[in-house]
Amino acid sequence: MSTIRIGIVGLGNIARKAWLPVLAAAEEWTLSGAFSPGREKAQALCAAYRMPYYSSLRELAANCDAVFVHSATSSHYAVVSELLQAGVHVCVDKPLAESLSDAERLVEMAERRKLHLMVGFNRRFAPLYRQLKSLADGAASLRMDKHRADSVGPRDLRFTLLDDYLHVVDTALWLSGGKGRLQSGAILTSDEGEMLFAEHHFAHEHLQITTCMHRRAGSQREWLQMVTDGGLFDVTDMREWRSEQHHGVVCQPTPGWQSTLEQRGFVGCARHFIDSVANQTAPETSGEQALAAQRVVEKLWRDAMSE
């Protein structure tokens, strides 16, 4: 196949910080251009990256083989469906769509058209998380915490569950082989219905899985801890590795050459999607797989609303 032509939809904060620096490297692909509704700011950013600005999704799709979508969640269904209908492969930020039913429709649409639809769960491609996953066979306990220093509201519980807690649920279930089943949990909200705290417990056979998030913890810390027969492993902020085994404690230094975007999985995620398109292989975080975590989060929200 000829060099893959890549496009971008949405040039907001996450695109500027995480995805554009990776995609602009354009080593085995061509960055063909971008579309974003804020024309003036988008044109200036496109000029800085020396790529064309397209005035519509249709024009962008006509010049691309695959597109990364970083627009607002509320736009995901409309944007992704138009791109799929145009015959373009899509990698979209989580969640796949604002509603579970729309997400399911997008998966069906991609399958009918034989197109790749991937959700950008970057943590699945963080090198230390992948290293931890390689040790997960036989694990007895897995816990993931992802906290916020002071980030309560202004959006409601459902938004925060889909926007942030979804990362925690997806990563924990992915590390456990995707077979964990919800056992119990709790969600605390403010009087305005904003998420304050969530903790949930899942299980699969011998493995116990815990997910936890506090929105006003005074810390931005994220860490994973796994307990196995003969070893305890934890990863902090996707860059610090610590293991305790019979021979003592090992702290694994972060490679000096490794960028923050590689540590956090954005580099691996982008490359994996482009390689999947180029080689016509199924992506690890296909739309169908991404639905699993979204279904769990939807259940957590509905259960919280019924209490």
Under 8 Å between Cβ of 34 and 69: no
Query: Which distant-in-sequence residues (6+ apart) come within 8 Å of 5 by Cβ?
Result: 29, 30, 32, 63, 64, 65, 66
pLDDT score for 1: 53
What is the C-alpha separation between 98 and 95, in angstroms, rounded? Answer: 7
The total of other beta-carbon atoms located within 10 Å of residue 207's CB is: 21
pLDDT score for 281: 93
Under 8 Å between Cβ of 202 and 176: yes
| 80-102: pLDDT as tens digits | 999 999 999 999 999 999 999 99
Q: How confident is the model at residue 246 (pLDDT cuts 50, 70, 90)?
A: confident
pLDDT score for 25: 87
Q: Is the pTM of this model over 0.85?
A: yes
Under 8 Å between Cβ of 199 and 225: no
Lowest mean pLDDT among 1-5, 129-133, 161-165: 1-5
- Cα dist from 128 to 228, 240, 253, whole Å: 17, 8, 11
- Cα dist from 12 to 56, 61, 102, 114, 121, whole Å: 17, 19, 23, 29, 18
Ordered structural domains, the chain, with CATH:
4-121 (3.40.50.720), 127-264 (3.30.360.10)
pLDDT score for 257: 85
